[in-house]
Chain A
Amino acid sequence: MKSIKFVLAGILFGIIMSKSEAISWYRIQEMFRFQSFHMYGLMGTAVVAGSIAVFIIKKFNINDYTGKLIVFQDKEKSFLRYIIGGTIFGLGWALTGACPGPMFVNVGYGYFGMLIVIFGALVGTYLYGVVKDKLPH
């Protein structure tokens, strides 16, 4: 049960991403062309509902299932790394139609070309690790 719950959560995530069509290259194009509310509604609902949940968890000091207080880590304060890194990410996102979660879901769906995208993403991650200290953060 210790590990299986994460697999089950992942299965649910994979089904949600597939059935909402968020793993679709076409839907991502539709989003970047502002021609449908679908992806905005999806992310908007997730963020609003999630924010309420996070607010309640903080307000009432709710514990996780082991009894430990749920803590939230603040992201490191900076501007450059987020705007530059985010832009590079976005360039690839619109090209492949997949961010990291949907890459994996798509492989399961039968789009084996996503394995190339995942391989590329691993190479990109490795390259970042190599040049990290030379980049503005």
Chain B
Amino acid sequence: MLELLKQPWPWYTSGAAIAFILVLLLYFGKSFGVSSNLRTICTIAGAGKKVKFFDFDWKTQKWNLLFIFGAVLGGVISSTLLKSDQPLQLSAATIADLKGIGIAFDGNLNPSQLYSFDAILSIKGLLILLIGGVLVGFGARYAGGCTSGHAISGLTNMQVPSLIAVIGFFIGGLATTYLILPQLF
């Protein structure tokens, strides 16, 4: 059983399991959406004193903070107990395309050119991650949700706004992939 769980999970198992998380949180009386935690953390840090947007009772979101705390633990379990001993099976076309723009495929989940200690301690590497993060945080709040809140919670509830947001996710993602990334490495 453990051996089976250690393998990379196929998309259908994983997709069904994500739907299960959605239903589980609904059954707990909550709604699946990770990015609201970013607002909650700003509020805990005291942002509510200066900016009205952050002036709310963060305790109503305590459950969601516990959820992302669990998500971190899930990451720990996956990289230890459930770690797969095989390299990531990335498609040959992607490996070739990335090589063409100067990004090596090293078989891990994330490229060392972005996430190794050498990379994150360089000015360029630090700026890429910082600016990327700012865009995700700003965009998620502007759009009122991220992949979980819009693509999962919103789309399963047939929300047109969520579909517009997901189209936006792709416009931005394609722009970075084809216009920005080739300039960076």
| A residues whose Cβ falls under 8 Å from a Cβ of B | 3, 5-33, 35-39, 41-47, 49-51, 53-54, 57, 64-66, 68, 70, 72-79, 81-101, 103-114, 116-130, 132, 135
Please state if A89 and B168 are interface contacts (CB–CB under 8 Å).
yes
A101 to B67, CA, bound (A): 10
Q: What residues of A have a CB within 8 angstroms of the CB of B84 in the complex? A: 19
Q: What residues of A have a CB within 8 angstroms of the CB of B34 in the complex? A: 99-101, 104
Please state if B177 and A29 are interface contacts (CB–CB under 8 Å).
yes
Q: What residues of B have a CB within 8 angstroms of the CB of A13 in the complex? A: 18, 21, 67, 70-71, 74
Q: List 29 A-B contacts (CB under 8 A).
A: A11-B77, A12-B17, A13-B67, A16-B18, A16-B21, A18-B74, A19-B5, A19-B84, A20-B13, A23-B109, A32-B170, A32-B176, A42-B14, A43-B151, A50-B156, A54-B156, A64-B26, A66-B29, A75-B154, A78-B161, A82-B162, A86-B172, A89-B135, A92-B133, A106-B75, A110-B75, A114-B129, A120-B131, A125-B141
Smallest CB-CB separation from A127: which chain B residue? B138
Please state if B73 and A14 are interface contacts (CB–CB under 8 Å).
yes
Could you say which of A73, A96, A127 has the most chain B C-beta atoms within 10 Å of its C-beta?
A96
Please state if A49 and B15 are interface contacts (CB–CB under 8 Å).
yes
Q: Other than the known A23-B75, A25-B110, A120-B135, what 7 A-B pairs have Cβ atoms closer than 8 Å?
A: A10-B73, A17-B74, A36-B94, A46-B19, A95-B132, A112-B120, A130-B51
Smallest CB-CB separation from A78: which chain B residue? B161
Report the minimal beta-carbon distance from B20 to chain A, rounded to whole angstroms.
Answer: 8
Report the minimal beta-carbon distance from B162 to chain A, rounded to whole angstroms.
Answer: 6
Closest 6 CB pairs of A and B: A14-B74, A86-B168, A10-B70, A120-B133, A90-B172, A45-B15
